[in-house]
Amino acid sequence: MILRRLVPALTLLAFAPVALGLGACGGTTGQNAASQVLKTPELPDDAEAKCRVRKSQSEPLIVEWPNGARGRLESTTRRGLIPIKYEGCELTQLTSCTVKSSVGAYAYWPITRKQSKVVIKDSDELFANMPVGALKLEGKLKSAGQLDVNMTIIGRYEAPTHTVFRNDLEGADCDKATHVIAAMTVGSFTFTAGADAEVGGGATVGAAGAGGKSTAKRETLQSDGDEAACARASANDKGPPEGCGALLQIEVVNLTKGSRPPPPPVVAPVPPPVEPTPPAVASNTTPSKPVKPPKCKKGEKVEDGVCVKVGKKSKPVIIGAIGTGTGAGGLGVGGGGIGSIAPLPTCAAGQHLEKGRCVEDLPPEPAPPPPPPPPKECASGMRLEGDECVAGERQVAEEEARPKATPTVYDQTPVEQRAPNPLRTLFGYSAIGFGLVFSTAGYIALGSLGAANDGCKGGTCTAEGKDKQGQAMTAAIVADVALGLTLASLIGFFLVPATVKVGVAPTPNGGVASAAWRFQ
């Protein structure tokens, strides 16, 4: 009885340290048991050195890139091939540098829809799959224990060539370029941190029981694309479906050293030789010259080209070939019976048989002469001499054949002669005219002034005296102006040269015409 009572107590004491140990682990670390089980060993601290010595991966994932960077790369694919600077864990898209359009552009190639999952558990796998974002993701991998990438792949953008030379680039930053993106995989993805694992445990003491269960939490780090949209992809798509065009992975190639060789010269095809056309041969159906009728004896007449007696009909002659040789025979039928076979006439040289008669052969028509060759054209800066183009100004046949203009009297060189200066004459006449005006106005002013003095005596002026004063003032002003113009005209008369040189030429109707003149 005593032993039976001690068994429950001993059992409680045996499981008490286990329960206390589990409680202590959960309270001190703040992590659940599942995370402790999946926790990987400590990562090395020399991550940057690892980037420097590690060779750049040729097919890195880019799911860890920010949405803005992936969107910029996605929009650039429509403008041509993309050059980049890619060294170790650093990848930079050179927006100021482009690949020439002559190299080509990306083309979309659909593939059968595929599901893919990449599991990353240590730093080596992290740097191998995501070298660009590996430095930032090391801490997340250390705390979560595992990184997962679930992808749906539906197609690829591919370049027409994997050989791009440095002289194929154009832009400001092209000297920094090291690689070119040759292909890009598209679809949808979900990038998460955490593991799928559970740890469970339990203990029962008497009627009471104690147990525990822990599950690692999964965190979504990045996602793009719609799985439902990717289900609509087909092998006939010209591009990814709407909502399923996220960039998942890129494939890069090194720039090829040197320069792209020039294209081979284009060789013009040589046309086949043309055989000359044989001259036309006159047909035997050409109308023949009329044959003179035979002369018949007395008592005969001509019928069907032969002489027959008057009152009898000529027997028709049927011409037929009776052999393959050069001779032929004719069969005469008449008077209800068959006549004798008569030989056909033999024609002389230059004649042929036609309707039982020999007619002259017509000479064959001569072949038309070939058209003259087109005039040879010379390039700019060349001229034609004989059949060759030589350096010099180009000469056109039409310009050489153009008739020369007949010289006229207007083409004669003007003859320089001396003539009186017209300006000096103008100044002389002006001085005379303005002098007369000055004299007349002065005379009127003096007369009006004398009359005004007679009308104004003792400080009182009559109306007539005031009028005379106004007339005297006006005449004096006119006289002053005329005097100034007279003096100016005299100065011009003495300063201007007396003669000038004049170029004259004969006119068609006689006389001369002044072509030019200048002071001398």
Residue 366, pLDDT score:
78
Q: Which of 35-39, 170-174, 304-308 shows the lowest mean pLDDT across its residues?
A: 35-39
Pairwise CA distance, residues 344 & 322, whole Å: 11
Pairwise CA distance, residues 469 & 404, whole Å: 79
27 φ, ψ to 5°?
-85, -25
Closest by Cα among 80, 44, 82 to 62:
82
Which pLDDT tens digit goes with each residue over 52-94?
555 668 999 999 999 999 999 999 988 899 999 999 889 999 9
Residue 73, pLDDT score:
92
Average pLDDT score over residue span 423-440: 90
Pairwise CA distance, residues 176 & 266, whole Å: 35
Confidence check: pLDDT of 519 > 70 = no
Please give the residue that has the higher pLDDT: either 347 or 155: 155
Residue 210, pLDDT score:
43
Q: Which of 17-26, 77-86, 428-437, 444-453 shows the lowest mean pLDDT across its residues?
A: 17-26
Residue 11, pLDDT score:
45
Expressed in angstroms, the distance from the first to the final Cα of the chain is: 164
Average pLDDT score over residue span 144-152: 94
Which pLDDT tens digit goes with each residue over 234-261?
999 999 999 999 999 999 999 998 888 8
Residue 13, pLDDT score:
42
Average pLDDT score over residue span 15-38: 42
Average pLDDT score over residue span 377-391: 74
Please give the residue that has the higher pLDDT: either 345 or 384: 384
Confidence check: pLDDT of 178 > 70 = yes
Residue 349, pLDDT score:
77
Contact between 246 and 187 under an 8 Å Cβ cutoff? The reply is yes
Pairwise CA distance, residues 167 & 256, whole Å: 10
Assign 504 a pLDDT band (cuts: 50, 70, 90): low
Is the entire prediction scored with pTM above 0.95?
no
Contact between 376 and 390 under an 8 Å Cβ cutoff? The reply is no
Residue 216, pLDDT score:
57
Residue 320, pLDDT score:
47
User: E-strand spans in 206-292?
Assistant: 208-215, 219-224, 246-254
Pairwise CA distance, residues 242 & 244, whole Å: 6
Please give the residue that has the higher pLDDT: either 391 or 229: 229
Confidence check: pLDDT of 478 > 70 = yes
Confidence check: pLDDT of 409 > 60 = no
Confidence check: pLDDT of 289 > 70 = no
Contacts of 128 (CB under 8 A, 6+ apart): 57
Pairwise CA distance, residues 244 & 66, whole Å: 17
Assign 263 a pLDDT band (cuts: 50, 70, 90): confident
Which pLDDT tens digit goes with each residue over 99-137?
999 999 999 999 999 999 999 999 999 999 999 989 999
Structure tokens at 9: 């107590």
Domain spans of the chain, in order of start: 40-199+212-254, 416-519
Confidence check: pLDDT of 40 > 60 = no
Highest mean pLDDT among 27-41, 171-185, 337-351, 506-520: 171-185
Give SS3 for 195.
coil
Confidence check: pLDDT of 1 > 60 = no
Residue 180, pLDDT score:
95
Average pLDDT, the chain: 75
Tokens 């429509």, residue located: 78
Identify the H or E element spanning 149: strand 147-158
Please give the residue that has the higher pLDDT: either 442 or 396: 442
Identify the H or E element spanning 37: helix 33-38
Average pLDDT score over residue span 493-509: 74
Please give the residue that has the higher pLDDT: either 509 or 332: 509
Average pLDDT score over residue span 484-512: 78
Please give the residue that has the higher pLDDT: either 151 or 28: 151
Confidence check: pLDDT of 140 > 60 = yes
Greatest Cα-to-Cα distance within the chain, rounded to the nearest angstrom: 186
Q: Which region, left, alpha or beta, applies to residue 156 given φ > 0 means left and ψ of -120 to 50 means alpha?
A: beta
Confidence check: pLDDT of 153 > 50 = yes
Closest by Cα among 300, 280, 422 to 364:
280
Residue 3, pLDDT score:
40
Residue 308, pLDDT score:
75
Which pLDDT tens digit goes with each residue over 197-229?
544 444 333 433 444 444 557 899 999 999 999
| Bridge partners, 219 (sequence order) | 193
